[in-house]
Amino acid sequence: MKTTILGLPNSYDFLIKKAVEGFWAGENSENEISKARYKVYNHNSGLQESLDLPVENDFDIYDRLLRTAVNFGLTPKRFGEIKKLEDYLSIPRGKQDAEASPMVKWFNTNYHVVQPEIEKLPELSENWRLKGTDQNKKFALIGPWTFLAYSVNRTNYSKEELFEKLSDEYVKLINGLPNKIIQLEEPSFLTQGLPDFYSKFLEKIKKKVHLHVYFGAVNDFSEKLFKLPVEGFGLDFVDGENNLNLLSHFPKDKILIAGVINGRNVHKISSRNKRTLDSILEKISKEKLYISPSSSLMHVPLSAEGEKVNFSFAVEKIKEINNIKKGAAIYEEVSLEEVELPEKFFYRAGHAYWVSEVPYPTTTIGSFPQTKEVRKKRNLLKEGEISNEEYEQFIKEQIKNCIKKQEELDLDILVHGEFERNDMVQYFAENFEGFTAINGAVQSYGTRYVRPPVITGSIVRKNPVTLKWSKYAQSLTKKPVKGMLTGPVTMVQWSFPREDISKEAQYYEVAKALREEVNDLVKAGIKHIQIDEPAIREGLPIDKSKREHYLKHAINAFRSVFYQVPNQAVIHSHMCFSEFPEIMNAIKQMNVDVLSIEDSKAKGKTANSLKEGGFPASIGLGVYDVHSPRIPEVEEIIKIPLTLNLDPKKIWLNPDCGLKTRGEEAYLQLAKMMEAVKLLREKK
């Protein structure tokens, strides 16, 4: 039995994040980024010295999928020729004369990839060619089928024609590498199927290939998969427990790389992992077996050193794998408890959807720019260097200034800016019992990292969380100020959930705590309340047989947060980076008055899918991209609402997400949005 992993985070000492952000700020050169990447590579290589098969090319300074696209010359024409690092890093951020490429979720994780935009046939780039360094390390590559599944095809070529050309370029790359083994990742077999022509591509490769399919079970295509000409198959036995049932038919001459420990959670190995491994060993000989995490470890923090609780992050998971191999593993006793889920259908009785009195009403999604000063004050409070009174006075000044700026912009529904909040999930977790905060960070996209809390017990609201600041903000203006909450599904999905009860049971626990918060806000006179649920689509199981159960309880738990509020209360929600057609019926059942969406990069397609699907409430259009410092043109903004044949009083205009990561340009972007609104109202 041998050991390996699929990948590691790029977060060591935040060297890459600091170097890239310093480069954007004009403080660093390309050389500083190269140095940072080299240090992270060396650090991660050192972590793998104990493994039988280390991996490389498993991380990038921004995004692996984007790097793969540039490797094959598949970049949008609007960015010109990609010659320098500045050109590469402009693709996800955009330039004033070129909009950023779209971002989407990586399967059902909270990691966002930059979507490749295919405008020509692929061709291996010598300048940006991916290069291996060590023949004894396997070289990790996102496979061509998964690459195409995540791409936007703007050519006249079919997917099959593109695959034929792209796979030939993959073969050139792979056969030119020094590495003996290639880790080829094709999780899109689960969502897009395994094409008949895939075997021809593999036959041209002169290296040993370990073909990985993670995030689910391969039941539907196992017979075809196991016939492919590769040395071994990587299967996920955590999210794909049903893979255990296929081992009787697993080819005797192939290697199995078994994902036996959870690469996406931080709880230590348990009796469940042991039972899984024991079942595998009944069918697969140790000589033909590698053990590994179920996925790349990029989905967990790097090291649990210094954490208050003995969690298992990437470093610890490597130790666990080695201990399993040695027979020295300590398994915690864990069994799944069956928690009865509510059968009650939570719904606002007699509710009529609220409609604005003005055409094209405006608001923002919630957060405003968090400056260095804001973050510094929060750290000083945490370290005990300023008093709570001093910190609260500072937050009051930030809120007062934010309200003033929104009134100057003439927004219709205001927000308090969320200056007291670190992260939309982390903040609530720190104020609810049952969550444990962590110091370790996980990459969300590019240089953006989050610190997902760990659910370690029953969820209980100790005290009001948002009430004080919402009331204070409302006292500063006659315009309505939204109460801002994170929804129950997102709270669980963006945390590391418990493994002893179902996620659905945890949704309802969080929902009960949030319901108490909503009721307090309503009693305090807060008329508009936004309950964000960007993770509802993300949480949709890849296994279609599990989707009905998931959606039933995800939507019901969400509705249970506000089903008791009076009809005059206006419930908003926000969903971003989501494709709605697959869950349209569920979205229509959300029972919200206003649903804000990310639609700037989709050019109105998302809103149109809602309209055509019969969505009954108002739609908040995300009319510009907040992940880019680019200032949008008024003409771009007005195009999106004008494509919708809807009542202008049911079309809201807003940024496509929160403004936390923006600088002062956020106010210039909002000014452009309000300029567009003025034009729209004049056209009406």
The model's pLDDT over 556-579, given as tens digits with 9 standing for 90+, comes to 999 999 999 998 999 999 987 566
Q: What is the pTM of this model?
A: 0.93
Same domain assignment for residues 264 and 203 = yes
- Say how far apart CA 504 and CA 243 lie, in whole Å: 23
3-state secondary structure of 417: strand
- Tell me if 526 is assigned to some domain: yes
> Which DSSP letter does residue 631 get?
P
CB-CB contact of 237 with 213 (8 Å): no
- Tell me if 21 is assigned to some domain: no
Same domain assignment for residues 597 and 535 = yes
The CATH number of the domain holding residue 75 is 3.20.20.210
- Tell me if 36 is assigned to some domain: no
- Say how far apart CA 347 and CA 324 lie, in whole Å: 49
Whole-number pLDDT of residue 684:
66
Q: In which domain, by residue range, is 605 found?
A: 372-683
- Tell me if 346 is assigned to some domain: no
Same domain assignment for residues 307 and 394 = no
User: C-alpha distances in angstroms, 644 versus 58, 213, 619, 641, 650?
Assistant: 42, 40, 10, 5, 11
User: C-alpha distances in angstroms, 76 versus 42, 69, 104, 168, 396?
Assistant: 33, 10, 17, 21, 44
**Structure confidence by residue, pLDDT tens digits, 104-134:** 999 999 999 999 999 999 999 999 999 999 9
CB-CB contact of 113 with 104 (8 Å): yes
Whole-number pLDDT of residue 422:
85
Four-point Cα dihedral 88, 94, 99, 103, nearest 10 = 80
- Tell me if 628 is assigned to some domain: yes
Whole-number pLDDT of residue 161:
97
- Say how far apart CA 478 and CA 473 lie, in whole Å: 10
- Active site amino acids: 627
Task: Quote the distance between the C-alpha of residue 244 and its chain's center.
Answer: 28
User: C-alpha distances in angstroms, 155 versus 3, 82, 92, 146, 158?
Assistant: 42, 20, 21, 18, 8
3-state secondary structure of 319: helix
- Say how far apart CA 621 and CA 597 lie, in whole Å: 6
Whole-number pLDDT of residue 309:
93
Whole-number pLDDT of residue 577:
58
Q: Which of 248, 278, 284, 246 is nearest to 260 (CA)?
A: 278
- Tell me if 583 is assigned to some domain: yes
Same domain assignment for residues 53 and 109 = yes
Same domain assignment for residues 318 and 422 = no
Q: Which residues of the chain have pLDDT under 50?
A: none
The strand ranges marked E within 480-617 are: 483-486, 528-532, 570-575, 594-598
- Tell me if 293 is assigned to some domain: yes
Give the number of domains in the chain.
Answer: 2
